[in-house]
Each structure stands twice: as structure tokens, then as C-alpha cells.
Amino acid sequence: MKRALYFVKGLIIAGFGVIALSCSEGKGAKDTSYLEEISVKELADAYRSGKLTISQVVEDYLYRIETIDKSGPGLNSVIAVNPDAIKIAKELEKELADGRDRGIMHGIPVILKDNIDSRDSMPTTAGATVLAGNYVVRDSKVAELLREAGAIIIAKSNMSEWANFRASRSSSGWSGTGGQTRNPYVLDRTPCGSSSGSGVAVSANLCALAVGTETNGSIVCPSSINGVVGIKPTVGLVSRTGVIPISFTQDTPGPIARSVEDAAIMLGILASKDTADKASMVEGAKFYKDYTQFIKKDGLKGKRIALLTNVSFHHMVDSLMRDAVRAIKAAGAEVIEISFPLPQGASSASYTVMLYEFKYGLNKYLAEAGSGSKAKNIEELIAFNKRDSIELRYFDQALLYEANAKGGLEDPEYKEALKSMQIMMRGEGIDKLMKVYKLDAIMAPTDTPAWKIDLTDGDNYIGSSSSYAALSGYPSITLPMGYVNNLPIGISFFAGAWSEPMLIEIASGFESVKRERKAPQFITSLER
């Protein structure tokens, strides 16, 4: 079997200044600027009109990965490229020529976060060197659905190792396997995690779409901080089968894209019942094959949206939020102000749940990984990391010790933490707010501006609104609302379970009146 082109390297970024995104200059350079900001629909139409071929587009995205991600600015968002991508592209090209059209995703290049199993010739590592040889033989449900729709998985994205659930402190976007991913807007700033590579790859136009995963903030933060759109679905809307887990109570894959429409297109492919994932089989679950039907330019008109006044962590972000509220009101929505701080004890309950479920889920995954893993459980993983020359170079493995010390899922501590978290965040939380205030959605700024990368002290994280949707298991969508010193800032809309249609309607309405997405220019540092 062919092995993936695998990237492990340090990065030197000094002296790049502002790099032109098109990469069309220089001797022998290829002009791939036509791919910058191109939409899924534009690619699909170009394939069918003959203006572009699938193999040409895949080849040019791979060229962009080589010249922008590996060298050039050196974003380090891609951990491995699919050596069979061109071959798959030509097969799908022939299908289309023969009249076998799989739909809008036919031939669309996609990047998967590297904790999502894919039977392509790339390992699934979660950024951990212990899984460097983990070439799986079966697709995750996510990869299976994308493949059936005709998407081409061209690469795996770098990520915060173990989805940022390993160390007492860490740098978002750093993994032992892939090194440090960098923000394409300002290269010495964080890409946020743990779906850092997915957010960066989409933002830098290295693919049409990407898939991330979230337990708490890992889709919405890298989407916000990298100036793109991210949808964190209701837990269960998108299958977790074949995804390296943290918490089956909070984990979910979701789309990352440059527009609400593109994110909705991918969500329609990924949303599916899965008998192997109990969360997708619950009563009341709502799945749609086409979420683009909910896109409306006037999607804000008549909506009642609550602004969380207690979510304030940066004065310049607050200013952008006030501008956004004015635009939302002008578009016909009613905005009411409410205060709802996270209930006392909710975060600690979530942490307890994650420790228990991480131990259960990761032990199960490692045991089933066969010869692909050099450890069969967390205890062996801890021992491996102690011996490895890379894994503990910057950060410890305190969370692995904590998780390993927990008991099983029958422990009263686990059951009580899970019960109290869901009461606080669902019945007495978002569900109650939606009912009492007769809301269509709740909104808040997604995150602070991107902070400086620091491999000594780790993330300098100020604040976020991600926990509301994460701890409840409910959906959230983030999209760009402006910039602070060239650093993107996102706005989040969230609501009750299975409310993706309403959130897409509201987000598309916001995007139509305040479209703030602009391509990154790879500034070296704000201090230069």
C-alpha cells in the first residue's frame, strides 16, 4: 500500500512579511489563484461545463499545499497528503463524463482532521506519534458518506494532539506528529484548536471544505480565529463512528467552510443516522439531506435573538459585537439582552465527564487499532510518551494520568456529573432560556483575537462562548463578524437540540448583510 506524504518539521517564519496568496509569481510557479475563495457550487458548475477538470483542481490544491503550507508561509496545517488523490480524481472525472453524477460534492476536494478514520493511504494519528502507523482498513462514517457523495479526501489536517486533551497546558495546533500549525492571517498567532489544521486549510484556500471535530470549542474557535464558517452540530446529527474520541456526550464532527452555503452543503452530506452511534438514534432527532434549503438572504427578518451580555472578554471584540447587533436589528430581527453566566459547577462536571469517557473511549480505540498503535491503552500510552523524544518536549501528559486514574462508567461520580451538567445546561439552561424569552437563537462573540503562539507557557486563552453549546450538546454556528488588528473575530449563534435549520437561516441572513470574510495575507507579525 502506498504511504502518505507525511510532514514533520520545524518552522522558520522570520522575514516572510506579507506573502501574496496566489503563489503565481516566481520562476516555474503555477498560477492557482482561480481557487482562491472559490465556492463548492462554482467548482461543481465548472466541472459540468468543462471549464475545469476534477484532476486539475485536485492537482492545483496539492500544489497549494506544497507551496503555501509546506514552504512559502509555512502554515503546517496539513499533516499528510493522500498519494492516491489524483488517481481518485481521474476515476471520478470518468464517472462524470459517463453520466454518473453523484451530486454537488462530486469531485470536491476535502481535508479531514487527523482524528477521523479514512481508509485512504494516510494514517489516522490524532497528532500522536504512538499512532504514526495507524493505517485503518475501514472508513469512519464521515469518510464513508463523503466518499459516497463523490468528495475526494486529499489530505489529513494537523490538530492539537489528542484533540487538546492531554496536557495541563498546551499550544493549540501543536502535535507530536505534525508540529505547530500557524494562523494564516498573522503567522506568529495561534490557529486555535483542536481542529486547527482544518480551519487554517480552508482559510488559506488549500481545499474546498474541511471536517473538524469539537468537544468544546474545537470547531468554532479555529473557524472564528481563522476567519471561516464552522458548524458544531447537535451531538448525534453527525456520526462519531471511526472518530478518535474524547467524550461521547460532547464530541461531534462538523463542517468548516468559507461560506454558510458551503457549510450547509457539507452538513447535508454528513447528517445521517448511524446504528453504531446511539446519539443519532434518539427520539426527536431531525436529519435533512439538504440544509441549503434553509439559506435565506432575509433570514434575520422577524427573528427574536438574545444577546448574552455576560460574554465580554475584550473591548475591541465588544465593539464589533455592537456593530453586529446594529446590523442584525436593521435586517429585521428583534434583539433582547440577557445575562446567563455558565452555572456554577457546569464546567467542572463537564471535565469529570470527559475524563471518564476519554478513558473508556480511547482505551477502546487503542485496543482495536491492532498493529497500528504502539500502545493498547492509556497506561501504555503514558509509558510510550515517556520514552519518546518528541512527545514531552514542550508539554506534559497530566490529563492522561487523570483519566487513567478514573474508574468505569458505572461510577457514581461519573453518573452524577453527567446528570447535573445536562440539567444545568439543558433543562435549566438553554431550553429554559429559549422558552421563557421566546427565542429563535442566542448569540455571543465566539472568541477573543488570536494570541501569540507560545511553546513554553502554552495558550494565553482569555475567553469564549463555546461552552454553552458544547456542554448542552446543542448546535452552534460561527461566522466572521469583523477584525481586530487584522485578526478575524467570529459571531456565534446557538439554540436548542436539532435547531440547525434555524441557525443556518439566521447565519445566512447575517452573512448577506455583513459578509466579513476576506482571504488571509500571511503577515509575519503585528509587531514588525
- Specify the CATH number for the domain of residue 242: 3.90.1300.10
The overall longest dimension of the chain from CA atoms, in Å, is: 66
Q: Which residue has the cell 461560506?
A: 259
Residue 208, pLDDT > 90, answer: yes
294 three-class SS: helix
Please, what's the b/e burial string for 191-201 (b: 16 or more CB within 10 A of its CB; e: otherwise)? Answer: bbbbbbbbbbb
Q: Is residue 10 part of a domain?
A: no
Q: Note if 194 is an active site residue.
A: yes
487 three-class SS: strand
Determine which one of 113, 232, 359, 514 is catalytic: 113
List the domain range (segments joined by +) for residue 220: 74-82+103-343+422-456+467-513
Q: Which residue has the cell 421563557?
A: 436
Q: What's the whole-number average pLDDT of the chain?
A: 94
- Segment 108-117 shows an average pLDDT of 98
* Short-list 252, 241, 212, 245, CA closest to 366: 245
Give Cβ neighbours of residue 315 (< 8 Å, ≥ 6 apart).
none
Q: Is residue 236 part of a domain?
A: yes
What's the pLDDT at 528?
Answer: 60
Residue 26, pLDDT > 60, answer: no
341 exposed, middle or buried (CB, 10 Å; 0-12, 13-18, 19+)?
A: exposed
Q: Note if 33 is an active site residue.
A: no
Determine which one of 175, 218, 466, 508 is catalytic: 218
Write the pLDDT tens digit of every residue in 282-331. Answer: 999 999 999 999 999 999 999 999 999 999 999 999 999 999 999 999 99
Determine which one of 77, 118, 194, 472 is catalytic: 194
Q: Is residue 36 part of a domain?
A: no
Would you give the DSSP letter of residue 300? T
- Which strand (E) or helix (H) includes residue 61? helix 54-64
Q: Is residue 41 part of a domain?
A: no
Q: How many CB atoms lie within 10 A of CB 485?
A: 11
Q: Is residue 59 part of a domain?
A: no
Identify the band that residue 276 occupies on the pLDDT scale cut at 50, 70 and 90: very high
Q: Is residue 486 part of a domain?
A: yes
Q: Is residue 478 part of a domain?
A: yes
- The two beta strands, 78-81 and 152-157, are antiparallel
399 three-class SS: helix
Please, what's the b/e burial string for 225-243 (b: 16 or more CB within 10 A of its CB; e: otherwise)? Answer: bbbbbbbbbbbbbbbbbbb
What distance in Å separates the CA atoms of residue 461 and residue 442, rounded to the nearest whole number? 23
What's the pLDDT at 29?
Answer: 86
Q: How many CB atoms lie within 10 A of CB 309?
A: 12
> C-alpha angle 261/263/266, rounded to 5°?
110
- Segment 367-393 shows an average pLDDT of 97
Q: Note if 465 is an active site residue.
A: no
Judge whether 510 and 327 are in contact, CB under 8 Å: yes
What distance in Å separates the CA atoms of residue 166 and residue 403, rounded to the nearest whole number? 9
What's the pLDDT at 11?
Answer: 29
Would you give the DSSP letter of residue 189? B
Which amino acid is located at 269 in the chain? Answer: I
Q: Is residue 479 part of a domain?
A: yes
Q: Strand (E) positions, 99-248?
A: 109-113, 152-157, 174-175, 179-180, 209-214, 229-232
Cell of 282: 434518539
Task: Count the domains in the chain.
Answer: 1
